[in-house]
Amino acid sequence: MTLIKNNEEYYDQQFDKHTFKGETLLETVFEECEFTDCDFSDAVFRRCRFVDCSFVSCNLSLVLFSLTQFLNIEFRQSKLVGVDWTKADWPTYRADPEMRFIECILNGSSFYGLTLQEIKFDQCQLVDVDFREADLSQAKMTDCDLNEAQFMRTNLTGADLTDSHSFTMSVLDNQLKGAQFSRLEALNLLESLGVKLVD
């Protein structure tokens, strides 16, 4: 098993069943690395960098990504409960970090105020996730559970929310031009306008 150390650079490495629970990692770079069945819950990544990496079946719940950078990252079938993504380092010159979440659990996480254009969530649990004031234009949030997710002054211009469900969203407080919704869920948007539909 490859040990992960502070101030190191890892290129094209595979980390399988690695346990880093509750530990702290400083200024470490991962490029083209794959993490499988790893436990990083409660860990702290401070000033680290992930480029072209993937996480499969990993536990990253309550991880602190302090001033950590991401570029072209995929999370698949992983648990990322309670992660405050606002603590990471998001360069202002790059609106699309190329992040993908597939069949992940992100309940209780926060993306408040972040610019994450074209971010992708597919078949994810996004219960009680904070998307307020975020720029999610052109995002794909398909077949997701958005129960109690918070949207306020959120930019969802051109976003695809097809088959996503259980959300409450004001058409007046959010930018929804060109956004796609499944027909039944789109009818629920009218509730924020006080519109009543009759057969």
CATH code, domain with 32: 2.160.20.80
Residues 121 and 142 sit within 8 Å (Cβ to Cβ): yes
Asked if residue 113 and residue 38 are part of one domain, the reply reads no
Would 134 be classed as within a structural domain? yes
- Tens-digit pLDDT profile for residues 2-61: 678 999 999 999 999 999 999 999 999 999 999 999 999 999 999 999 999 999 999 999
Domain that holds residue 16: 10-59
Amino acid found at 88 = A
The tally of domains found in the chain comes to 2
Helix (H) or strand (E) holding 188: helix 183-189
> How far, in Å, CA of 89 to CA of 68, rounded?
5
pTM score of the predicted model: 0.92
Ranges assigned E (strand) in the chain: 9-11, 14-16, 24-26, 29-31, 34-36, 44-46, 49-56, 64-66, 69-76, 99-102, 120-122, 140-142, 160-161, 180-181
